[in-house]
Amino acid sequence: MSKVYSIAIDGPAGAGKSTMAKAVAKELGFVYVDTGAIYRTVGYHMDLMGIGPKDIDGINRLIDDVNLKLTYDEDGLQHMILNGADVTDEIRTPKMSKIASEVSKHKVVRDFLLDTQRNVAKEHSVIMDGRDIGTVVLPDADVKIFLTASVEVRAQRRYKELLEKGQKVQYADVLRDMEERDYQDTHRAIAPLKCASDAICLDTGDMDLEQSIEAMKKIIKDRIGVC
């Protein structure tokens, strides 16, 4: 079997992780794994069942009913299948962003999802993005990148994205939600968002998408020679 590579991309919401990782994965022929979507899907299931993201007893009771599958369409787009239903679009709302951030604090949820994430990386070369990929999920990743930008830049990007999807949102609300999520994701007790000691930090605040992708490719090429 040829060598399987793993590239870990971590960073706060709206730093451009998924757009950039998806583009680079396509070029490399690697599988792109969006781990935020996995947490969103767990949160979606709990919400559907009337369980709030802070209701640890309810989550403990229902977590084993969550049957998750990741599938990929011909464009390499990851689809989330929850108990047989494709929920890829349903998990992409501001409400689900908040729920995912809350639900992901719980140890039972993080433990439940760990193997799902690691198993993909055992079988395929991956670019995996999230909050704890370089620190917890794939500590031996071949390349680790910590992507960041100021909260205002990230909120502006997310605001545009939501408007383009036809969602009715205000910039001030997007900014406030992002600040709250940054705080929650970096201050939780288990696997908080932080830069791994061996990660390369890439601030995309002053770069457009094309420049950011080129910068990411250069880091990967310098480390493992592909790209």
Q: Which residues bind ligand DC (CB under 6 A)?
A: 13, 35-36, 39-40, 97, 100-101, 104, 130-133, 181, 185
| Closest CB 104 distance from ligand DC, rounded Å | 3
| Closest CB 225 distance from ligand DC, rounded Å | 27
1 versus 194: smaller Cβ distance to ligand DC: 194
| Closest CB 57 distance from ligand DC, rounded Å | 21
Tokens read off for 158: 């997310």
Q: Give Cα 204 distance to the centre of its chain.
A: 17
Contact criterion met (CB below 8 Å) for 14 and 155 = yes
| Closest CB 208 distance from ligand DC, rounded Å | 21
Q: Report which DSSP code applies to 183.
A: H
CA–CA distance, 33 with 38 (Å, rounded to integer): 9
3-class DSSP string for 189-221: CCCCCCCCCCCEEEECCCCCHHHHHHHHHHHHH
Contact criterion met (CB below 8 Å) for 171 and 159 = yes
104 versus 125: smaller Cβ distance to ligand DC: 104
29 versus 147: smaller Cβ distance to ligand DC: 147
CA–CA distance, 114 with 110 (Å, rounded to integer): 6
133 versus 145: smaller Cβ distance to ligand DC: 133
Q: Helix 35-48 vs helix 107-123: angle between axes, to the nearest 10 degrees?
A: 140
101 versus 125: smaller Cβ distance to ligand DC: 101
| Closest CB 179 distance from ligand DC, rounded Å | 12
